[in-house]
Amino acid sequence: MRAARTAVAGTASGAREWHADPYTDALRTGRGPLFLRRGDGWLLPLEVERWCAPPDEADATVLARCRGGVLDVGCGPGRLVAALAARGRPALGIDVSRHAVDRAVRAGGAALCRSVFDPLPGEGRWTTVLLIDGNIGIGGDPSALLTRALELAAPDGTLIVETAGMDLDERVVVRVDDGRGGHGTPFPWARLGSRALLAYGGRAGWEAVEQWRVDGRRFVQLRRR
């Protein structure tokens, strides 16, 4: 499965929140501060500088486990798809932010401006599906997202998920916030620790292959049960 290096316009359902000026500005500069803000004022820092930098040691452990055609869901600025492309590996990133997709393409990756819930190329044939950088939170419904990932993966496909660093299972409504008064529209999000991910994954048809931790980041690899 080979993805062309291209950016294709799409409806990108649910994309408005990631078109907010704070997120766009952070991608342009490659740095924060940037947060997800809950209604009660709670803030989750977003690691814009890491997203816009080359893959780090923790990312390298994910790249080493990628097999066949790779679909990076919520690819952001594209550090992983660009790294895979540089290695001659077929990979496609999808993201609802046009600015993120443009940056991924400039970095050398293939990317489409789409939601994971939109029709996608290669459905049912991706050997590796990635949900890195907290992207298990997309849509605020882990069960729906894990079921969708099963539809996208090949019969022998695997799913690699980065989980929260603590044991939690929460669904919240947040908005992108720059900490200086700029913010986007509210949208649903989720955060899962590894234990909760395994529970949701088991119900969706996944089973655990491996769990590991690098530099404080936690990952789980799953396969079809």
Domains of the chain: 16-224 (3.40.50.150)
- What's the pLDDT score for residue 183? 85
Mean pLDDT per 10-residue interval, the chain, length 225 residues: 40 49 88 93 95 98 98 98 97 96 97 97 98 97 98 98 96 93 90 98 98 98 95
Output Rg (C-alpha) for the chain, integer angstroms. Answer: 16
Q: How far is CA 144 from CA 74, 78, 139, 148, in A?
A: 15, 24, 8, 6
pTM for the full predicted model: 0.91
Chain length of the chain = 225
Q: Whole-angstrom Cα distance, residue 219 to residue 213?
A: 6
Which backbone phi and psi does 91 adopt, to 5 degrees? -150, 145
- What's the pLDDT score for residue 59? 98
- Residue 219, sorted as left (phi over 0), alpha (psi -120 to 50) or beta, turns out to be beta
Tokens 């932010």, located at residue: 97
